[in-house]
Amino acid sequence: MSKVVLVSPHSCSITQGITDTAMAGVARILSKYFPKGMRYRSFTQKAVNLKKTPQDYPALTGSEHWRRKIRTLFRARDIDGDGYLTKKDYEMNVHRVSSYMNLNENQAKDLMKWKMFVWETLSRSTEASADFHLPEDDFVSNMLAAYPIIVETIVDVASCDFDTVDVDGDGFISPQEHKACFYGFGIPLKHSTDVFKVLDTDSDGKISREDFVQGFVDFFLSEDENSPHACFFGPLI
């Protein structure tokens, strides 16, 4: 059991707080989906410096505002709009992003592997998950129940998500890459511009890994109704 030493009092490494045992477990799962040579660089445990770490947030209470955010996320992910998250929603997401960004076969395959990993983690099963249906209420309550795990893993998950959105792998999310992300979820593209401005904190026209991860963490862990990151997945429902 060991923890990574803080880089500074106000920043952290992505592995801070994750025990060796947990990391070994994560590594074992990830090695199945991300064999050597794949492009998801975040699994090399690239450090991300955050102004506010997951541990800096008060414990989640499941406020109405927080539930609205998670319901908004659910509806973005429920791409076929049938009220359930299924494997098909995740596959549709990959097909939509792949077509919007003209991904080649290998890029599309990589993206599918990551999304299937996320789906299988969510459905807590593996190959037998084809028929699993997750309704909205369960999605919200599961998310709240998973809070202790989320605190430990969210920076890694966010960093991996960043890599899936940064399609060209230049280390930044461009306006077009962000639009592809929203298109993939079926979030109206007009909202991408506003969300992009919120995340592009230094207004240089691109979203850094730190900005993306901070926004992602804030979306999941903040219950502050004035946080600008409530719109991370588009306007709240």
Binding site for Ca ion (CB under 5 A): 78, 80, 82, 84, 89, 166, 168, 170, 172, 174
| Smallest gap from residue 170 Cβ to Ca ion (A) | 4
SS3 123: helix
Q: Please, which residue, 40 or 222, has the CB nearer to Ca ion?
A: 40
Pick the closer one to Ca ion by CB: 172 or 220: 172
CA within 13 Å, CB half, 188? 6
Place of tokens 């249906």: 133
Output the CA–CA distances (angstroms, integers) from residue 54 to 73, 95, 156, 171, 218, in the order listed: 19, 32, 11, 22, 8
Quick one: 64 or 131, whose CB is closer to Ca ion?
131
- Residue closer to Ca ion by CB (options 66, 212) is 212
Question: For Ca ion, which is the closer residue by CB, 137 or 168?
Answer: 168
Q: Which is nearer to Ca ion, 13 or 123 (CB)?
A: 123
Shortest separation between residue 103's beta carbon and Ca ion, angstroms: 13
Smallest gap from Cβ 128 to Ca ion, in A, equals: 18
To Ca ion, the closest distance from the beta carbon of 89 in angstroms equals: 4
Q: How far is the CB of 41 from Ca ion (least distance, A)?
A: 12
Mapped to the 3 state alphabet, what secondary structure does 143-212 carry?
HHHCHHHHHHHHHHHHHHHHHHHCCCCCCEECHHHHHHHHHHHCCCCHHHHHHHHHHCCCCCCCEEHHHH
In the complex, minimum distance from the CB of residue 143 to Ca ion, in angstroms, rounded to a whole number: 17
Number of neighbours of residue 94 by Cβ within 10 angstroms? 21
Burial (0-12, 13-18, 19+ Cβ within 10 Å), 58: exposed
Q: Give me 213's structure tokens.
A: 């991860």
